[in-house]
Structure 1
Amino acid sequence: MTLPSLHGHPIFETAGLGAVFQAIADAGGEARIVGGAVRNALLDEPVRDIDIATTLTPEQVLAAAAATGLKTVATGIEHGTVTVISDNSGFEVTTLRHDVETDGRKAKVAYTDDWAVDAARRDFTLNAFYCSQDGEVFDPMGGSADLDTRTVRFVGDPEARIREDYLRILRFFRFISQYGQDDVDADGLDACRQLKAGLKQLSRERVGQETCKLLCGRRAGEVAVLMNDTGINRTLFGADMDAVLLASVIARAGTLGGTPDYTTLLAAALPLGADEQSELLRLSNVQTRSLRDVQSALPPSPALRDNERKVVLYQTGAETWKRAVLLAWARDANAADEDWAGLYALPEQWEIPVFPVTGSDVLATGVAAGPQIGEALKALEDWWIAGGFVASREELLARLTA
């Protein structure tokens, strides 16, 4: 595959990018966009973060930015990375480097001015592309053919790359999920299988971050099968992923023109409780609560009558309702899709009402403060729900007084 020029690509219209290139050039250095931004531009995929590789040392990058009035943050200076702030955008600028010593998690690096040496330490050929400011694309590791077939392949020896950082096992599957097309590189897959025990060295934060990206990929269901077959999931989580349910959830969401959120994907993929998942993946408190809510929610069904649907929706809330509908739909091989799609759309068709009576209203009737306030309020709300949410505040207060 002959790599096209990216000259004129929208990537170069990114606010602040030109100023970073200019600052490095003024300091006598060379800079190129590197990695995922180049890959995605070549694949006509959305470009999010733009990383830059340079021949300047981190100290020289700091000086070059200061000389042109750009702010910097020494985010990873011990590994050669400085974040340069230009036009309110952050660009990670990293000095060309090679690994001197690795322990499977972190590396000690030495700087170089050789682009091929820098490329040789990268994880996958799809991430070893460079692009100059004029749009010329460089491919030191010969990843052109892999780009054409969307094959995720380690740079050089897969075992050597994995031993440098065991997170690359998860990244291998994550990139297949996001970008893979057909065949999986057999050598890479076998190396992941052989070295999976090294995953136990990783922090749960790193595992959680990669798992999120992996599950949100378009081929997550297929990748879950690969990870089960190689024993990766049992090593990480003590259990296989439910690849069938995961693929079904993704497919059902696709019929609605969308994709499931991370909470729904986790609930589908891992047959573990919310608290256990939270511990394994270092989920945030919000994510843990959302996962707990959907796991404990009454499964919606098209068999529910209209008022029953509204009661369940009122009790769960719109977000949990949609997640629960997707999961229940994915488990049901018989019900018509249009019935489930209608169920999923209920929050847009019926606005969840707000119970119009508060604890202060109960106090105002003369009920003494204490547990009886909550009990009275709950009994009144149950009556309101059973009546189809139609009783007005005045009717509710009259019943409360009576």
Structure 2
Amino acid sequence: MTALRTLHDAPWLNSGPATRVLALLNEGGEEARVVGGAVRNALLKLPLGDLDIATTALPEEVVRRARAAHIKCVPTGLEHGTVTLVVDGTPFEVTTLREDVETFGRKAKVAFGRDWQRDAERRDFTINGLSVSSDGVVHDHVGGLVDIDARRVRFIGDPDRRIAEDYLRILRFFRIHAAYGRGAPDRDGYLACIRGHAGIAGLSAERIRMELLKLLVARGAHAAVQAMAGGGLLSQLFGGVTYPGTLAAMIAAEETLAHAPDPVLRLGALGVAVTEDARRLATRLRLTNAEFRKLDSMGHRWWRLKGMDDPIARRRLYRLGEARYRDRLMLAWARDGRGADAATWQALVKLPERWKAPVFPLKAADFIARGVAPGPGLGHVIALAEDVWLAQDFPLEIDVLTVIADQTVARFSREHRL
């Protein structure tokens, strides 16, 4: 039986580009509704994101109507019934209702249809199976309204079958629960994820990476990760030891600083203790080069940042640069644990806000003038002088710099018998 509820306070149903698309597709005996995540988020009073639209109209008819109305139309997936309409710069993914003819994983054979219930039953979770028509009526064919009220993430129909259709739904179960659920994960869904875990091996690393990074920034990320660890799923994904407690400490540190959640920082907290971990994750998850470099830097001797005084912290900041300094320091803080001295760590993280590293004032010409020939030796002398300058806490006085240059050249000359 279909449950109904009226969606109040939805201005996007009363005016704007979405109303234009719905009006276009609701003519001539056809029907269109907003479906999926936008309906879920509207009911939960959360930001909407993209508005996806389902329609009884066949893809060719959607294209015909859009062109007649001078609406930009992009055939993004005609074979799957999907067309993207762009109205006032806003894209809307419009998909014709579908029903399964044969089911064999993600490559299920489907046919276009006109049955809203059968279309809803193809979706993953009940809270994603809702639709809303242009009059604001929410249509529920799968029990999603009850689960919205309970903040419960539950598979539509048989969980094992839903998972077998696409094993990425295992990760999506935990990600959607972390974002929208409350309390422990639905037991039937949780047990089905554990039973189906072997199917994860057949997923592309890129899809796993995308889903995992989304999960890590969700409101309930730590609880979801703990549940995954309890079911043996984390070790399968990471191929090594994971640290849910360090993730919890990283989340607490971000909250202390009022920083937005950083998915790569959280990934590092969960899976990186040394640089070898970063390389393993980069391979298993097909991380971008920037993501790998960030994790690799975080894992490089992060323990040397513990217990720093300000002079040492300034030297680390100078050597690492602001971004790498903060990232590595955040991992050191998280690995120090949730009971760590937050005030001390916070002061260290905020060092770049109160101190800017000066540029090393001695130049190659200063050493050439002292008899050092251009070449590899000159670079070595400059590096030695910079080390002394850092050890003396960045002096800028001419007389001090002169002594540093003279003594460095003298040392180099003794060592190389110049």
Query: For 1:27-66, what aligned pairs fall within 5 Å after superposition?
Result: 29-66=30-67
User: Which residue in the other structure is 2:134 paired with?
Assistant: 133
Separation (CA, whole Å) in 2 of partners of 1:360 and 1:10: 67
What's the TM-score, normalizing by structure 2? 0.87
Answer with 354-363 or 67-76: which moved more: 354-363
User: Which residue in the other structure is 1:242 paired with?
Assistant: 243
User: Which residue in the other structure is 1:281 paired with?
Assistant: 285
Answer with 79-88 or 330-339: which moved more: 330-339
8 A Cα contact 2:215 2:221, kept in partner: yes
8 A Cα contact 2:179 2:219, kept in partner: yes
Judged with a 3 Å threshold, the aligned counterparts in structure 2 of structure 1 residues 335 and 251 are, in CA distance, closer, same or farther, namely closer
Equivalent AA in structure 1 for residue 60 of structure 2 = E
SS in 2 for 1:134: coil
8 A Cα contact 2:12 2:19, kept in partner: no
Equivalent AA in structure 1 for residue 94 of structure 2 = V
SS in 1 for 2:324: helix
SS in 1 for 2:54: strand
Deviation at 1:100, TM superposition (A): 2.6
User: Which residue in the other structure is 2:388 paired with?
Assistant: 383
Unaligned runs of 5+ in 2: 410-418
SS in 2 for 1:99: strand
SS in 1 for 2:105: coil
TM-superposition CA deviations, 1:229-275 (whole Å, max 9, x none): 21212332323531111112112222222344122111111246222
Q: RMSD across aligned C-alpha pairs, in angstroms?
A: 2.7
- Identity of aligned pairs, percent? 44
Deviation at 1:289, TM superposition (A): 0.8
SS in 2 for 1:273: helix
8 A Cα contact 2:302 2:332, kept in partner: no
User: Which residue in the other structure is 1:213 paired with?
Assistant: 214
Judged with a 3 Å threshold, the aligned counterparts in structure 2 of structure 1 residues 301 and 367 are, in CA distance, closer, same or farther, namely closer
User: How many equivalent residue pairs?
Assistant: 401
8 A Cα contact 2:152 2:185, kept in partner: yes
Query: Is 1:321–2:325 an aligned residue pair?
Result: yes
Equivalent AA in structure 1 for residue 357 of structure 2 = I
Judged with a 3 Å threshold, the aligned counterparts in structure 2 of structure 1 residues 69 and 28 are, in CA distance, closer, same or farther, namely farther
SS in 2 for 1:22: helix
Judged with a 3 Å threshold, the aligned counterparts in structure 2 of structure 1 residues 301 and 26 are, in CA distance, closer, same or farther, namely same
Judged with a 3 Å threshold, the aligned counterparts in structure 2 of structure 1 residues 309 and 85 are, in CA distance, closer, same or farther, namely same
8 A Cα contact 1:290 1:320, kept in partner: yes
TM-superposition CA deviations, 1:173-222 (whole Å, max 9, x none): 11111111113211111111111111111111101100111111122221
TM-superposition CA deviations, 1:134-182 (whole Å, max 9, x none): 3211111111111111111000110111111111111001111111111
User: Which residue in the other structure is 2:347 paired with?
Assistant: 342
Deviation at 1:363, TM superposition (A): 7.6
Separation (CA, whole Å) in 2 of partners of 1:49 and 1:184: 26
Query: Is 1:152–2:153 an aligned residue pair?
Result: yes
User: Which residue in the other structure is 1:265 paired with?
Assistant: 266
User: Which residue in the other structure is 1:104 paired with?
Assistant: 105
User: Which residue in the other structure is 1:291 paired with?
Assistant: 295
Equivalent AA in structure 1 for residue 69 of structure 2 = T
Deviation at 1:394, TM superposition (A): 10
Structure with the greater alpha carbon radius of gyration: 2
Separation (CA, whole Å) in 2 of partners of 1:308 and 1:235: 39
Judged with a 3 Å threshold, the aligned counterparts in structure 2 of structure 1 residues 236 and 298 are, in CA distance, closer, same or farther, namely closer
Answer with 36-45 or 220-229: which moved more: 220-229
Separation (CA, whole Å) in 1 of partners of 2:267 and 2:364: 37
Alignment partner for residue 309 of structure 1, among 309, 313, 316?
313
Judged with a 3 Å threshold, the aligned counterparts in structure 2 of structure 1 residues 4 and 114 are, in CA distance, closer, same or farther, namely closer
User: Which residue in the other structure is 1:185 paired with?
Assistant: 186
8 A Cα contact 2:302 2:329, kept in partner: no
Separation (CA, whole Å) in 2 of partners of 1:12 and 1:397: 72
User: Which residue in the other structure is 2:412 paired with?
Assistant: none
Judged with a 3 Å threshold, the aligned counterparts in structure 2 of structure 1 residues 188 and 386 are, in CA distance, closer, same or farther, namely same
User: Which residue in the other structure is 2:256 paired with?
Assistant: 255
Separation (CA, whole Å) in 2 of partners of 1:200 and 1:182: 28
8 A Cα contact 2:121 2:142, kept in partner: yes
User: Which residue in the other structure is 1:199 paired with?
Assistant: 200
8 A Cα contact 1:249 1:260, kept in partner: no
Deviation at 1:120, TM superposition (A): 0.3
Deviation at 1:310, TM superposition (A): 0.8
User: Which residue in the other structure is 1:161 paired with?
Assistant: 162
